[in-house]
Amino acid sequence: MNFTFTEEQLLIRDMAERFFRDEYDLDTRRKHQAMPGGFCPETWAQFAEMGWLALGIPEDLGGVGGGSVETAILMEAMGGGLAVEPFLSTVVLGGGLLIRGGSDEQKGDLLPKLAAGELLLAFGYGEPQSRYDLNDVATTAKADGDGYVLDGGKCVVLHAGTADKIAVTARTSGDARDRAGITVFLIDADAPGVTVRDYPTVDGLRAGDVTLSGVKAGAEAVVGEVGNGLELTEAVIDRAAALIAVEAAGVMAATTQCTVDYLKERKQFGRPLGDFQALQHRMTEMYMETELTRWLGYMAVVRQDGDDRPPAARAAAQAKAKAGQAGRLIGQEAVQLHGGMGVTDEMFVSHLFKRLTMIDHVFGDAAHQVERLADMDVGNAAA
């Protein structure tokens, strides 16, 4: 048992932190957001050059290997830098689906392109009525000769507007909320019948609503097994939830740090605000909650590698719940402690706050996760 980083992992962390510190300030972020697609293609190419897109992909498929911890380390740094690039949608969700469920052909064809930065992916798993329930799938895929015809729609699909291919869950059999009968399809974003309405998100990223009308998909478009797509989806989303909990810890650390820095500078009553114990104690809470979220998050990330699903699901739910709860506290406190400046668009803190808030609303918010935990076997306590 060892719950800290290896030397190699520390190198990845240092490199990533340095990148976001030196090359990715708030102005850079604003420029990236204003670009078509809402991110910077050159920066994406840099990610590829640094090997970030190849993490978790086997070496014989153009990747650099590694487990989820390395990916989490990157995401923690991306959290601190408020990166807007489509790492989560392409690498974690799209890549995650392919690595866990893809056929040899799909992997061999797509993963090298993904690692090289030449393929952008998105994953539509949610629908307007589904809230956070992954089994609530109304989109249908009806058998049609050797293939399928898909009809329906997916909402808030992260980076759908720039994706080359979009994975979607669709019902090949069963009723609206059945666990069985769901299949994952990977379809071309420009296939006839696919429409993406692209929009910005409140926290500065991009997402889209995807409409599918009579979209033809061949059998080769199926990722994983027909009818068993829910297990694959759950595994990928739980892993993403664990990873985004660590990203959230990165956002929280930046939020706490900028608050501490600001309160050391800002003077009232003839002294820095940071001298006041009432404010100090609130910042200590922000610091502690960040630490707790980070290490719970890494625990959950470690649990995602492998096939022991109940502990992985439980750990992901715990980490995501914590990220939502601590994120709300830290974000609100940071804005309050910044005073009037905290509610301006000018300050970094307001953007951190929005990101923390919206992280709670992907992959199931804190209330959803706590409810999930209560429904799971309560017989296995911590660890």
Positions that interact with other proteins (CB under 8 A): 1-5, 69, 260, 263-264, 274-275, 277, 280-281, 283-285, 287-288, 291-293, 295-296, 298-299, 302-303, 318, 321-322, 370-371, 373-375, 378-379, 381-383
Question: Toward other proteins, which CB reaches closer, 144 or 305?
Answer: 305
What's the closest the beta carbon of residue 283 comes to other proteins, in angstroms?
A: 6
CB of 307 vs other proteins, minimal distance in Å: 14
The sign of the torsion formed by the CA atoms of 15, 17, 20, 22 equals negative
Nearer to other proteins, 67 or 147 (CB): 67
Give the distance from CA 10 to its chain's centroid.
22
Nearest approach, Cβ of 3 to other proteins (angstroms)?
4
C-beta of 61 vs 323, nearer to other proteins:
323
Residue type, 75: M
Q: How far is the CB of 337 from other proteins (least distance, A)?
A: 12
Reduced to 3 states (helix: H, G, I; strand: E, B; else coil), residue 182 is strand
Q: Pick between residue 145 and residue 270 the one whose CB is nearest to other proteins.
A: 270
Nearer to other proteins, 109 or 291 (CB): 291
**Beta carbon of residue 58, minimum distance to other proteins (angstroms, whole number):** 20
What is the C-alpha to C-alpha distance for residues 266 and 260, in angstroms, rounded to an integer? 10
Smallest distance, Å, CB 284 to other proteins?
4
Nearer to other proteins, 217 or 260 (CB): 260
State the DSSP code for 340.
Answer: G
Taking the C-alpha atoms of residue 160 and residue 197, their distance in angstroms, rounded to an integer, is 8
CB 372 to other proteins: min, Å: 8
* Shortest reach from residue 92's CB to other proteins, in Å: 18
* Burial class, 158, CB count within 10 angstroms (exposed 0-12 / middle 13-18 / buried 19+): buried
What is the rounded distance in angstroms from the CA atom of residue 185 to the CA atom of residue 339? 48
Structure tokens at 121: 């992916």
On the CB side of 263, CA atoms within 13 Å amount to 27
Q: Classify burial at 275, counting beta carbons within 10 Å of its beta carbon; exposed 0-12, middle 13-18, buried 19 or more.
A: middle
Of the pair 115, 296, the CB lying nearest other proteins is at 296
Exposed (0-12), middle (13-18) or buried (19+): which is 36, by Cβ within 10 Å?
exposed
Question: To the nearest whole angstrom, how small is the minimum distance from the Cβ of residue 373 to other proteins?
Answer: 4
Angle at 177 between CA 173 and CA 180, to 5 degrees: 45
Within 10 Å of residue 182's Cβ, how many Cβ atoms?
Answer: 28
Closest by CA to 69, choosing from 132, 5, 113, 114, is 5
Tokens of 249: 């810890």
Of 162 and 369, the one with the shorter C-beta distance to other proteins is: 369
Cβ pair 229, 175 in contact under 8 A? no
Report the residue number, 190 or 377, with the smaller CB distance to other proteins: 377
